[in-house]
């Protein structure tokens, strides 16, 4: 990427994006990170060679693209700081990775003339396997959309939504999803330990089974998930018996209810910030 990029906030997701960008050929001298924590910015400078500063305005003025990588609870105060300082925001694309803050609210914080893309990455971005949802209103140009897409693809795959409320669907299907899988794996590990495995053995068995399963899915894009499941489920066998229990306990409905709950909470959060 040839654009100059500022990160407002130097936490884990910013670190993941910076690492992904550099691994994909972006020069470190095109990236500036602003964060009040000297330890945080110094660690990023040492690891990646990026420019760092404690001043948001300095990072913004040195950039074409500004990634708002701060917690939603402090987004308004952070934006107010550099807006009140008279920082020139004109012509810069702002990309938010904060949950629960609408584009309209971000424009209210930044000024209605600013161009904003709202994104929802998930934690596998930390290992380059993220799934990020993106939404852009009509005033964002095609070139700006491509910039945002390129930036988020540095840490995984992307999915654009046409309507902003669909970002909440991305949250339910991808943003929160790693925790669903971790919970399932945690339950399997606990039961494996009860069956006599050591904690280390149980973790490795479950972890490798999950890793192998996801790689099988990725390696067979033409097979739907139901077919992949059926291929492992011999009639009258052990897997079929386990699946019977899941179905009797209405696993599909539990998953649907959980995803609906995530969407409902996302809608609630949009009124908080």
Q: Residues 174-232: pLDDT tens digits?
A: 999 999 999 999 999 999 999 999 999 999 999 999 999 999 999 999 999 999 999 99
Over range 159-183, report the average pLDDT.
97
Residue 163 has pLDDT above 90, yes or no: yes
Q: What is the pLDDT of residue 56?
A: 95
Q: Encode pLDDT of 55-64 as tens digits.
A: 999 999 999 9
CATH of domain 177-269: 1.10.3730.10
Over range 66-83, report the average pLDDT.
95
Q: Is 116 left (phi over 0), alpha (psi -120 to 50) or beta?
A: beta
Q: What is the pLDDT of residue 112?
A: 86
Q: Which residue has the higher pLDDT, 255 or 270?
A: 255
**3-state DSSP helix/strand/coil % of the chain, to nearest 5:** 60, 15, 30
Cα separation, 110 vs 84, in Å, equals 10
Q: Where are the domains of the chain?
A: 5-164, 177-269
Cα atoms in the 13 Å half-sphere on the side-chain side of 173: 11
Q: What is the pLDDT of residue 212?
A: 98
Q: What is the pLDDT of residue 1?
A: 75
Over range 120-128, report the average pLDDT.
94
Q: What is the pLDDT of residue 2?
A: 84
CB 31 within 8 A of CB 48: yes
Over range 12-41, report the average pLDDT.
95
Question: Which of 32-36, 110-114, 149-153, 236-240 comes out lowest in average pLDDT?
Answer: 110-114
Cα separation, 253 vs 249, in Å, equals 9
Q: What is the mean pLDDT of the chain?
A: 96
Q: What are the structure tokens assigned to 61, written together? A: 């003025």
Confidence of residue 273 (pLDDT cuts 50, 70, 90): confident
Superfamily of structural domain 5-164: NAD(P)-binding Rossmann-like Domain (3.40.50.720)
């Amino acid at each position: 990427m040839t654009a100059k990029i500022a990160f407002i906030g130097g936490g884990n997701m910013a670190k993941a994006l910076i690492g992904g960008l550099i691994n994909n050929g972006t020069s470190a001298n095109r990236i500036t990170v602003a964060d009040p924590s000297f330890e945080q910015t110094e660690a990023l400078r040492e690891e990646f060679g990026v420019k760092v500063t404690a001043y948001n305005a300095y990072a913004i003025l040195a950039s074409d693209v500004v990634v708002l990588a701060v917690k939603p609870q402090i987004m308004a105060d952070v934006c107010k700081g550099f807006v009140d300082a008279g920082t020139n925001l004109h012509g810069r694309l702002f990309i938010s990775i904060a949950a629960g803050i609408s584009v309209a609210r971000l424009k209210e914080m930044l000024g209605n003339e600013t161009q904003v893309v709202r994104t929802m990455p998930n934690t596998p971005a930390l290992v380059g396997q993220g799934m990020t949802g993106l939404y852009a209103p009509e005033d964002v140009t095609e070139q700006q959309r491509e910039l945002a897409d390129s930036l988020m693809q540095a840490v995984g795959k992307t999915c654009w939504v046409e309507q902003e409320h669909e970002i909440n669907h991305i949250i339910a299907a991808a943003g929160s999803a790693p925790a669903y899988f971790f919970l399932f794996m945690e339950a399997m590990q606990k039961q494996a330990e009860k069956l006599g495995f050591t904690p280390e053995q149980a973790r490795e068995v479950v972890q490798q089974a999950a890793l192998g399963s996801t790689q099988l899915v990725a390696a067979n894009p033409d097979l739907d998930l139901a077919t992949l499941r059926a291929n492992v489920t011999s009639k009258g066998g052990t897997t079929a018996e386990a699946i019977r229990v899941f179905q009797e306990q209405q696993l599909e409905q539990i998953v649907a209810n959980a995803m609906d709950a995530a969407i409902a909470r996302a809608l609630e959060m949009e009124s908080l910030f």
